[in-house]
């Protein structure tokens, strides 16, 4: 982070302020972990922070400290818009383009004149923020929040509550420390958090060992639907709206299913296509291993983006046409493109 930005932010935070903290739409563990870590940190500095999520976050994150204070924009649009308009300062975490919050919330944010601070690890940030901490080298925004607090010379403010939120985001966005963004420094931060008293053995259970029977059935259906294009080192699966409904889908139930496609020997690229009839889209998640860039793939073909090995996209075509398009693109890729 640039020294001038750090100094400017220190001045902004020198006196109590009303501060809005915003994650991306469909917030995951890193988005909620980073926003709530910052929320608790700013509380300690005597500010008035509020986390405003564009829409509901998954139930398996509801145990995070402070989650009960989070306001949901799409549930109380007028109230949240007023909070944003009255805020002195706005943080946007784990995203770098305002369209990631959804159309209605984007309109409100785009109309504001307050300073924005962006903290994010995705590629190609937009230029809406006054102060920017953007670095794709990090595996999670939560790791950047730890650094951000350190840049302000306030690392001693990190307690078990803040540390728990940070640990959660690092754990989830690193794929339990498996993804390439995991570095020695990531583990050093985690070690500090554990020494601080963060319950590192309990957090994975809270995140991953609380599935409903319906969710496991839905996973089974997704695995049954999986297709393998062996010649092209690709796998993919689908879930229709009818299938989601038949297994009583709730938000968060499809989290992590896409990763199963990479567990097949020889597979370099995988995807999951999930139908959402309310939004009239097919939501897509891509994963890869090695040097195949799914961020570029999603940007070029499916109106999305993300990281080199983990990205998302969407399609307004039917499920059938979307799959046809995906297979057509994949079958034109050369092995070199998969491996380089």
Please report the pLDDT score of residue 187 as a whole number.
98
pLDDT digit string, tens, across residues 270-324: 999 999 999 899 999 999 988 899 999 999 999 888 888 899 999 999 999 999 9
Instruction: Give me the phi and psi of 21, to 5 degrees please.
Output: -125, 125
pTM of the model: 0.87
Q: Is the pLDDT of residue 268 over 60?
A: yes
- The chain-wide mean pLDDT, for the chain, equals 94
pLDDT band at 252 (very low <50, low <70, confident <90, very high): confident
Please report the pLDDT score of residue 305 as a whole number.
85
Answer with the residue of higher pLDDT: 1 or 38. Answer: 38
The long-range contacts involving 48-52, CB below 8 angstroms and separated by at least 24 positions, are: 48/16, 48/17, 48/18, 48/19, 49/19, 49/20, 49/21, 50/18, 50/19, 50/20, 50/21, 50/83, 51/21, 51/22, 51/23, 52/20, 52/21, 52/22, 52/80, 52/83, 52/84
Residue with tokens 């034109």: 332
Separation CA 163–CA 83 (nearest Å): 27
Q: Is the pLDDT of residue 110 over 50?
A: yes
Please report the pLDDT score of residue 211 as a whole number.
87
Residue 172's alpha-carbon distances to 134, 154, 185, 206, 316, in angstroms, are 19, 25, 17, 12, 29
Q: Is the pLDDT of residue 38 over 50?
A: yes
How confident is the model over 245-274, as a mean pLDDT? Answer: 94
Q: Is the pLDDT of residue 340 over 50?
A: no
pLDDT digit string, tens, across residues 187-238: 999 999 999 999 999 999 999 988 899 999 999 999 999 999 999 999 999 9
Share of the chain above pLDDT 70, in %: 98
Token pair in block for residue 11: 């001045």
How confident is the model over 113-136, as a mean pLDDT? Answer: 95
Q: Is the pLDDT of residue 336 over 50?
A: no
Please report the pLDDT score of residue 178 as a whole number.
86
Handedness of CA 89, 94, 97, 100 (dihedral sign): negative
Please report the pLDDT score of residue 334 as a whole number.
60
Please report the pLDDT score of residue 179 as a whole number.
85
pLDDT digit string, tens, across residues 79-108: 999 999 999 999 999 999 999 999 999 999
How confident is the model over 234-262, as a mean pLDDT? Answer: 95
Q: Which of 188, 233, 232 is nearest to 331 (CA)?
A: 232
**Cβ neighbours for 317, distance < 8 A, ≥ 6 positions apart:** 282, 325
């Amino acid at each position: 982070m640039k020294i001038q930005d750090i100094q400017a932010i220190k001045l902004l935070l020198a006196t109590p302020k009303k501060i809005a903290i915003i994650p991306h739409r469909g917030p995951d563990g890193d988005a909620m972990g980073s926003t709530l870590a910052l929320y608790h940190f700013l509380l300690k500095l005597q500010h008035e922070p509020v986390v405003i999520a564009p829409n509901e976050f998954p139930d398996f994150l509801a145990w995070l400290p402070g989650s009960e204070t989070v306001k949901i924009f799409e549930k109380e649009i007028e109230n949240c818009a007023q909070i944003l308009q009255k805020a002195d300062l706005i943080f946007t975490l784990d995203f770098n383009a305002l369209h990631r919050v959804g159309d209605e919330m984007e309109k409100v944010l785009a109309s504001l004149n307050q300073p924005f601070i962006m903290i994010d690890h995705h590629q190609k940030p937009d230029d809406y923020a006054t102060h920017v901490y953007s670095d794709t080298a990090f595996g999670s925004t939560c790791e950047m929040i730890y650094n951000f607090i350190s840049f302000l010379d306030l690392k001693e403010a990190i307690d078990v509550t803040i540390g728990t939120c940070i640990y959660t985001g690092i754990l989830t966005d690193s794929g339990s420390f498996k993804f390439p963004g995991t570095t020695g420094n990531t583990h050093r931060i985690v070690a500090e958090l554990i020494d601080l008293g963060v319950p590192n053995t309990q957090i994975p259970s809270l995140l991953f060992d609380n599935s409903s029977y319906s969710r496991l059935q839905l996973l089974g259906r997704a695995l049954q639907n999986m297709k393998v294009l062996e010649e092209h080192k690709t796998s993919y699966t689908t879930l229709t709206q009818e299938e989601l409904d038949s297994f009583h889908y709730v938000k968060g139930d499809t989290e992590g299913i896409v990763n199963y496609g990479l567990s097949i020997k020889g597979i370099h690229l995988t995807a999951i296509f999930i139908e959402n009839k309310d939004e009239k889209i097919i939501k897509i998640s891509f994963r890869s291993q090695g040097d195949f860039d799914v961020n570029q793939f999603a940007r070029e073909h499916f109106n999305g983006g993300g990281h080199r090995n983990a990205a998302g996209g969407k399609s307004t075509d039917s499920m059938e046409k979307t799959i046809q398009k995906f297979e057509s693109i994949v079958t034109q890729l050369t092995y070199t493109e998969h491996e380089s």
